[in-house]
Amino acid sequence: DRPRPIHREPALAGTFERCVGPLIDQMLDGGALAPSVMTFSGSAPTALGGQVQAVLDGGRPFDSLAAGIRSDFDQLAPWAEALIACSRTSAVGVDDGLGPFASPNHPRDRAPLQILVAGKVSALQLWKELSAENADHSISKCTDVLAAARDAALDKGLVGAMVGTAMTKTVTPACGAALNQAQADTRRRFLDELARIRKGFPRFSEVLRVERATRQLDVFGRYLSSEQFLKLPPGAQAQVRPNVDPPVSSLLWLWWGSYLDRTNRFLEAADQPARDELFGEIESERDLLDWFLFETLPVPSFREFALRYDAALRALDLLESAARAAAGEPALPGIVTTPE
């Protein structure tokens, strides 16, 4: 288990993963809540998705949502509130089908997307409460969503980091509106909780370290000896694919040294001031084997992912600046006060 700052007491027992696991199970195929999730996922029809996004962005009131959307919202709101409250556990860790090395074949493999849905539903709940002038309660929900975004980023490499990024982007407009309506003591509490959440967000190098380990297991784990394989955690063992394709496997083996070199260079560059330029240089160095194996091992644009992650961290900084300005306090040194 990996402890990280608790943004609000009292802390819940266990880890984030053990807390959300039973809630994720309610979303599995055949679960009572599964149909309602579709309304708030990327699979929603364009018209429905557009209505939801307009409210999330603050462009339309909550009551403008169609009756069917509000019905699905009512179904999911208690589930979403329970899930984001899991961010008040004392640590992140692992559970069956959850965590950095969870099996991709586990029924819970869509957990990151379901956590994202919980963030959307919770952001809608924020707007609903704000329309009833309940800003002080909304602030607590805001920090729970931001903390859940942090835990998603800690849990699942690049996928988790992008889920955390999307959740932060989704809830930021509602959090900003809540700060504008909140009482002074509530703003001060928000600043204290946000500081603890911000401290727990992983650096991008930490995200890449998890991504490197999971990707290497997926592609190169087939070459481990039986003794090495048995030393892996059970979830990591499930990520190892059998070595059943000798021609491609031989090429992958030849490519191993080049791949390791580049992933290590990405890690070294991840926290450097010139990160974007260094990432661009590394990504431009694709050799013939890259092109041959592209379908087997996609080479993601780490630079693009890093820029998206930066935007989420800037959103946290902007919320802090907004809270300080509303409280008549100066911004902290290094805090970005306007979007780039």
Q: What band does 97 get if pLDDT is binned at 50, 70 and 90?
A: confident
pTM reported for the whole predicted model: 0.89
Q: What is the pLDDT of residues 54-86, one digit of tens each?
A: 999 999 999 999 999 999 999 999 999 999 999
Q: What band does 338 get if pLDDT is binned at 50, 70 and 90?
A: very low
* pLDDT computed for residue 313 by the predictor: 95
Token pair recorded at residue 254: 């030849």
Estimate to the nearest angstrom the gap between the alpha carbon of 238 and the chain centroid: 23
* pLDDT computed for residue 177 by the predictor: 93
Is omega for the bond preceding 233 within 30 degrees of 0, making it cis?
A: no
Q: What band does 295 get if pLDDT is binned at 50, 70 and 90?
A: very low
How many separate helices (H) and strands (E) can be counted in the chain? 15, 3
Q: What is the mean pLDDT of residues 300-318?
A: 91
Q: Which residues contact 139 (CB under 8 A, 6 or more apart)?
A: 175, 178, 179, 182, 186, 187, 189, 190
Helix, coil or strand: residue 91:
strand
Q: Across the strands, what pairs with 181?
A: none
Q: What is the pLDDT of residues 13-25, one digit of tens each?
A: 999 999 999 999 9
Q: What is the pLDDT of residues 232-255, one digit of tens each?
A: 876 678 778 776 555 555 666 667
In sign, the C-alpha dihedral spanning 224, 225, 226, 229 is negative
* pLDDT computed for residue 8 by the predictor: 94
Element (H, E) at 15: strand 12-15
Look up residue 174 and give its amino acid.
A
- Top pLDDT among 247 and 270 is at 270
Q: What band does 221 get if pLDDT is binned at 50, 70 and 90?
A: confident
In sign, the C-alpha dihedral spanning 61, 63, 68, 69 is positive
Token pair recorded at residue 309: 């992650």
* pLDDT computed for residue 259 by the predictor: 76
In sign, the C-alpha dihedral spanning 239, 147, 86, 26 is negative
- What distance in Å separates the CA atoms of residue 217 and residue 221, rounded to the nearest whole number? 4
Q: Is 46 exposed, middle or buried (0-12, 13-18, 19+ CB in 10 A)?
A: exposed
